[in-house]
Amino acid sequence: MERLVIENYMGDNNQKRAHREFIIGILIVAVVFGLIVYKIKGESNTSILGVTTTQTMQNVAYKDGTYEVKGNYTSPGGPEEIDVKLTLTHNLITDATVVSEATRSMSQKFQGEFVDNYKPLVIGKNINEVILTKVSGSSLTPKGFNDAVEKIKQQAKVG
């Protein structure tokens, strides 16, 4: 009789362990699935050559003209800025000029790489669609450019 009680007790533990392992397996699958969905959702913005184009384009109209602002960002060495001048025609960027205003040698290097290579990524693009991520090795200067674009949008907004 005692042996039967011990086997039933152990059987319950084995069943509980199997049940626990099943639940842990389901949780792992759910977490992995969630990460995959998060990754895919994060990639719903298409990034080509460092330009991220949002899937849902804003239907905001901007006044034609030339706008110039300072774009700000923070480098490991501290705050930096770039001077950005954009010309808009029917929401399209028809001309762009970026002047490096870096004070640190590393920032000067990366801003220089950005200045030399950003134009094909923005000229002819709708201002609502342009968000730069990385341009020729420079990943922080685009943040300054994006900051300037947002400031220009505020200045140029119709109404």
**Is the per-residue pLDDT at 7 higher than 60?**
no
As to burial, measured by CB atoms within 10 angstroms (0-12 exposed, 13-18 middle, 19+ buried), residue 141 is: buried
| pLDDT at residue 51, rounded to an integer | 45
* Phi, then psi, of 88 in degrees rounded to 5: -110, 135
User: Tens digit of pLDDT for each residue in 100-123?
Assistant: 999 899 999 999 999 999 999 999
| pLDDT at residue 90, rounded to an integer | 95
Sole residue written with tokens 């609502």:
128
User: Tens digit of pLDDT for each residue in 53-102?
Assistant: 443 445 789 999 999 999 999 999 999 999 999 999 999 999 999 999 99
Instruction: Name the strands in the sheet holding 65-75, side by side, starting at the edge strand that comes first in the sequence.
Output: 65-75, 78-89, 92-100
Instruction: Indicate the pLDDT class of residue 3, thresholds 50, 70 and 90.
Output: low
Question: Which of these, 158, 154, 139, 152, lies nearest to 97 by C-alpha position?
Answer: 152
Which residues have CB under 8 Å from 124's CB, separation 6+? Answer: 92, 93, 94
| pLDDT at residue 55, rounded to an integer | 38
**Is the per-residue pLDDT at 6 higher than 70?**
no
The reported pTM is 0.64
User: What dihedral angle (degrees, nearest 10) is formed by the CA atoms of 29, 34, 40, 41?
Assistant: 170
Instruction: Say how many residues make up the chain.
Output: 159
| pLDDT at residue 144, rounded to an integer | 97
| pLDDT at residue 52, rounded to an integer | 44
* Phi, then psi, of 105 in degrees rounded to 5: -60, -40
| pLDDT at residue 48, rounded to an integer | 42
What stretches of the chain show up as alpha helix (H) in DSSP? 2-42, 105-117, 119-122, 141-156
